[in-house]
Amino acid sequence: MKRIVIALALVLCAAQPALADKVATPIPIGIAVAQTSNVALFGQEQVNGAKLAEERLNAAGGVNGTKIALVFQDTAGDEAGAVNAFQNLLNRDKVVAIIGPTLSQQAFAANPIADRAKTPVVGPSNTAKGIPEIGEFVGRISAPMTQVAPNSLKQAMKIKPDLKRVAVLYAQNDAFSSSETTTFQDAIKELGLETVTVQKFQTTDTDFTTQVTAVLGANADLVVISGLAADSGNLVKQLRQLGYKGLIVGGNGLNSPNMFPVCGALCNDVLVAQAYSPGAVDKNPVNKDFAAAFEAAYKKGPAQFSAQAYAAVQVVVEALAKIEKETGKKIADFELADLRAALNKSLRTGTYLTPMGEISMAPSGEVQQKDFYVSKIVMNPDGKTGAFVLVS
Ligand code: MET
């Protein structure tokens, strides 16, 4: 028995990424996002953005002439799915970096695995507090809600200057939503508004009668929602159906056109703070170019999750090109472990001109971004499609 265990241990050790592994070509970059489950409402947009980046960057020569190959692993919507996807990408596909996962809830479970494997993670959509702090190899290009969310409250105050009574609702079983609501609640206080009720729900809920009744009873003139797409969309719908007439601010979970069919015409006028806007193309040629290419490829405008996934691939490719420039050595001549370490450093130097404008990654792994937007949802007469129309 003992011998079998030792033999098994040896086999397992051999299956680990051997230190002598060279980087494969085309250069494998892992994409671990939610292609299935409810979270795919965001994940599918990420796949679209990432695929467009792969196509366009390879057409432009990849990494100084060496092509990249995105390796997609579906994380589905939970922690176990993300952990499994990360393990496959690290050990089987031997990727140079992982872009993902979709949810912060998944990042807290899966990112430590990549960190232990000394492989850079670039979060394309994680906006909770504490993501870069997971480890040395964990970074993100998605601005945290602490920087983005308060802008939508300020916009609501511009629209209704006598605004005072705020109802706050959040999904208590999701790390990002629980984090975002604290940002909103702090900002509400700082802006001199009053929180009149705090209501919790689950991302799996479909009936929000209890929460809506509390909002109406509290006589709120602003509702602030932190949740994912389907739950938040249903919540907006039921607020309106049951007679709530005030303003609604949605967090990052409502920042997706995939939510439009959920609340239909009742999505109208929801305010959302954004780290990306396809409306902001004038000052940024990279965005103009990206938005046009996206429109041509998918027959619709890009949403934030697509733009951020595109930017994540772009940032990894540019960081790889920088390594070649600085060392004079081709990526394919590196040993995998050395390249992963060099890439982690390279990601954190210099700036990147992306569809979200100029961004950089601090040594901590936190993104540094300059421009943010607030949009309001304007639905089309079909009640299924609509747009985020830039208001500030
Ligand atoms: N920003 C979210 C998070 O960090 C993911 C997409 S929107 C709900 O979990």
Question: Which secondary-structure segment (H or E) carries 85?
Answer: helix 79-87
- What is the CA(137)–ligand 1 centre distance, in A? 20
Q: Which atom of ligand 1 is nearest to the CA of 106?
A: 9
Q: Average the pLDDT over 286-307 and give the result.
A: 96
Range name among 94-103, 117-126, 274-283, 332-341 with the lowest pLDDT average: 274-283
Question: Could you give the residue range(s) of every CATH 3.40.50.2300 domain in the chain?
Answer: 15-143+285-361, 147-274+373-390
The dihedral formed by the CA atoms of 253, 256, 259 and 260, expressed in degrees to the nearest 10: 140
Q: How confident is the model at residue 392 (pLDDT cuts 50, 70, 90)?
A: confident
- What is the CA(125)–ligand 1 centre distance, in A? 6
With a cut of 90, say whether residue 20 has pLDDT above it: no
Phi, psi for residue 309 in degrees, rounded to 5: -65, -40
Give residue-wise pLDDT tens across range 82-131: 999 999 999 999 999 999 999 999 999 999 999 999 999 999 999 999 99
Give CA 32 to chain center in angstroms. 12
- What is the CA(180)–ligand 1 centre distance, in A? 9
Q: How confident is the model at residue 281 (pLDDT cuts 50, 70, 90)?
A: confident
Which percentage of the chain shows pLDDT scores above 90?
A: 93
- What is the CA(131)–ligand 1 centre distance, in A? 12
Q: Which atom of ligand 1 is nearest to the CA of 252?
A: 7
Which percentage of the chain shows pLDDT scores above 70?
A: 95
Q: 253, 203 in Cβ contact below 8 A? A: no
Query: Comparing C-alpha atoms, which of 294, 382, 272 is closest to residue 49?
Result: 294
- What is the CA(127)–ligand 1 centre distance, in A? 6
- Write down the pLDDT at residue 219: 98
- The reply to whether ipTM tops 0.85 is yes
CATH superfamily assigned to domain 15-143+285-361:
Response regulator (3.40.50.2300)
- What is the CA(103)–ligand 1 centre distance, in A? 5
Give residue-wise pLDDT tens across range 42-63: 999 999 999 999 999 999 999 9
Pocket test residue of 33, 42, 102 for ligand 1, highest count of atoms within 8 A of CB:
102
Q: Is the dihedral of CA 239, 241, 247, 250 positive or negative?
A: positive
- Write down the pLDDT at residue 2: 53
Average per-residue pLDDT in the chain? 95
Q: Average the pLDDT over 161-176 and give the result.
A: 98
- Write down the pLDDT at residue 280: 82
With a cut of 60, say whether residue 4 has pLDDT above it: no
- What is the CA(23)–ligand 1 centre distance, in A? 31
Topology given in CATH for the domain delimited by 147-274+373-390 = Rossmann fold (3.40.50)
Q: How confident is the model at residue 232 (pLDDT cuts 50, 70, 90)?
A: very high
CA 3/CA 385 separation, integer angstroms: 63
Pocket of ligand 1 from Cβ distances under 6 Å: 42, 102-105, 125-128, 176, 228, 252-253
Token output for 359? 């961004």
Nearest alpha carbon, ligand 1 atom 9? 103
Q: Average the pLDDT over 318-338 and give the result.
A: 98
Pocket test residue of 44, 78, 228, 255 for ligand 1, highest count of atoms within 8 A of CB:
228
The dihedral formed by the CA atoms of 163, 164, 170 and 175, expressed in degrees to the nearest 10: 90
CB within 8 A of 192, min separation 6: which ones? none
CB within 8 A of 313, min separation 6: which ones? 29, 31, 49, 50, 53, 54, 57, 68, 70, 99
Pocket test residue of 103, 122, 184, 225 for ligand 1, highest count of atoms within 8 A of CB:
103
Q: How confident is the model at residue 190 (pLDDT cuts 50, 70, 90)?
A: very high
Q: Which atom of ligand 1 is nearest to the CA of 229?
A: 8
- Write down the pLDDT at residue 282: 80
**In this structure, what DSSP letter does residue 88 have?**
I
Instruction: Give the amino acid at 198.
Output: V
- What is the CA(172)–ligand 1 centre distance, in A? 14
- Write down the pLDDT at residue 149: 92
Neighbours of 173 (CB within 10 A): 17
379 beta partners: 386
Q: Average the pLDDT over 238-262 and give the result.
A: 97
